[in-house]
Structure 1
Amino acid sequence: MSDADSSDIDPSPTIDDELLARARIHARDVDIDVDWDRLEWDVSARAKRRAGACRWQADREVATIVLSRRAYEAYDWETFAAVVRHELVHAWEYQRFGESGHGERFRRVAAELEAPRHCPSFAEPRYVLRCLNDDCDWRARRHRASTPVTTPERYRCGNCGSDYAVEHAESGRRWTTASEYGGAKAALGDDW
């Protein structure tokens, strides 16, 4: 690289550098038996609802904790640090057992580390599914137009098994069938 090229490089740390540095420092203070040599870190600039994820590469026996830049910017540090601890529990499970979930073992270790079982969402949902049974208060949040959103008549409430309605969060438009979904989408046009 020539001297002229090196002047184009900004040596200032980025938000991703800051996020990873803080996360790694915090992780080293967490009382969990993770093999640090088999743990990698990454930042997602694309994640819109998931604050973190832990991916297991079984062939390499390496866990990669991926943290969301948007969550880092949206949360206070204590909330984000809890996300780091949550993902460390997944990394520990993968390294120890080759699998991870949110079951009893996860809950026990997460509770010891004051990590949430599920990380809070940092983005408002685009759609809200609501049970139509007056005696049920089941709700589900969705960020994408998945099949439970586009064809709700094919699915049932996750709690009582009744039908549910889907609401476009921004407009308040509701539908219970695929054709009503199409009508709502067409009616909203550019506001979809």
Structure 2
Amino acid sequence: MTGESDDETYTLDDELLARARIHAREVVDEYDVSVDLGALEWDVSARAKRRAGACRWHADREVATIVLARRAYEAYDWPAFAAVVRHELVHAWEFQQFGESGHGPRFLERAAELDAPRHCQSFSDPRYVLHCLEDHCDWRAERHRASQPVKAPDQYRCGACGGSYEVEHVESGRTWTSASGFGGVKAALGDRW
């Protein structure tokens, strides 16, 4: 498990996990949440760029693993990160009680009781931003990887009004509205892509 060390040197991961575990115990006690902390494992992701946390269910062992993003811990203040821990505890509760979890009404009700957000604020800059091209619409969406809506925006529609949108490569400011435009910008940027 990430964060454990063989010597007396403590890492940022050790700190993150210790604070998360302590907060989880406080939440379980204060809010009387029926999460079995003995059937809960913790891990740290050094790679996560978008998700501050995740909860995975291992049905074969009936154990939930909460994975917390180191980058989020470094970017957020403690109250914001503690909210991430509470959010993932709601998932752990759902998995332990019902064998499944999502962001539906049951989750939202329990999350509200724990003052846990449905979604966490971003802790890294997006690589791409999608902008609606309609004058009356200010819809935008951020993406961190080149998903299909980024690669072929002409095959998708604005999430608010259904109009066309363009994709911006944030670092360069270059934009495109089609799959061929994506290929052209990628080729033009070369190593700067």
TM-score by length of 1: 0.92
Larger Rg: 1
Describe the SS at the equivalent of 1:64.
Answer: strand
Cα offset for 1:10? 4.2
Query: Which residue number in structure 1 is paired with residue 10 of structure 2?
Result: 13
Query: Which residue number in structure 2 is paired with residue 24 of structure 1?
Result: 21
**In 1: Cα distance, 2:123 partner to 2:170 partner:** 15
Q: How does 1:10-159 map to 2 (within 5 A)?
A: 10-30=7-27, 31=31, 32-159=33-160
Cα offset for 1:102? 1.2
Letter paired with 2:90: V
**In 2: Cα distance, 1:134 partner to 1:103 partner:** 33
Q: Give the RMSD, CA atoms, in angstroms.
A: 1.2
Cα offset for 1:160? 2.0
How many percent of aligned residue pairs carry the same amino acid?
A: 75
**1:114-151: CA deviation from partner (whole Å, max 9, x where unpaired):** 11110111000000111122222221110001111011
Which stretches in structure 2 are left out of the alignment for 5+ residues?
1-5
**1:45-90: CA deviation from partner (whole Å, max 9, x where unpaired):** 1111111000111121111000011111111111110100010011
Query: Which residue number in structure 2 is paired with residue 6 of structure 1?
Result: none
Cα offset for 1:110? 1.0
**Number of corresponding residues:** 184
**In 2: Cα distance, 1:42 partner to 1:164 partner:** 38
Letter paired with 2:23: H
Which piece of structure 1 moves more, 87-96 or 99-108?
99-108
